[in-house]
Amino acid sequence: MVAPIPADWRHAVCRTLSSHSLTSILIRQRARRDWQSLFPGTFHHEMVDVFIKALRNPQQTGRLVVTMDEPGIVYEFIFEHKSRAVYGKVNLQPNGDVIIYSAHRPLKGESL
């Protein structure tokens, strides 16, 4: 069910991403490649900034994903960047680390 993403989860993810140290962030290879194809001029820190911006939005909606192998709470969501819709999937792990699984054009239209 698509619903506003819980604030606790959003805030915790943003906290880790905002550290920008990249010591607590893993990016799946496919996500990096997809992002690079979508926005070839950007650096990785910009990708992280865009996710922070999206998740700071209290109106950001998403859907809980329970099919990932890694421990943690995963949400998928769609947000806009540079007038393009982007599908994101992020895992907040129990230790606070974050995995960015996806960052690409929505594959099923512009809704989850």
Partner 1 sequence: MSNPPNNWEAIETEEEVIIPTYDGKGISDVIKVNVPAFRDPKTGEIYLAEKALQILDDIKARHMGLISREELKLLRAHLRCTQKELCALLQIGEKTWTRWETGRERPSRSMNLLLRALNEGRISVPWLLAQRPKTKPFEQKSGIGRTWHVRQKMKPEGAARVLAR
Interface residues with partner 1 (CB under 8 A)?
20-30, 32-33, 36-37, 40-41, 43-45, 69-71, 95, 97, 99
Instruction: Residue count of the chain, please give it.
Output: 112
* Shortest Å, Cβ 45 to partner 1: 5
Q: What are phi and psi of 30, to 5 degrees?
A: -65, -40
Q: Which is nearer to partner 1, 94 or 109 (CB)?
A: 94
Query: Of all helices (H) and strands (E), which one includes residue 37?
Result: helix 29-38
Q: What are phi and psi of 58, to 5 degrees?
A: -65, -20
Q: Which is nearer to partner 1, 25 or 78 (CB)?
A: 25
Q: Which is nearer to partner 1, 6 or 43 (CB)?
A: 43
> Which residue, among 10, 27, 46, has the nearest Cα to 38 in the 3D structure?
46
* Shortest Å, Cβ 61 to partner 1: 26
* Shortest Å, Cβ 98 to partner 1: 9
> Which residue, among 90, 72, 98, has the nearest Cα to 15 in the 3D structure?
98
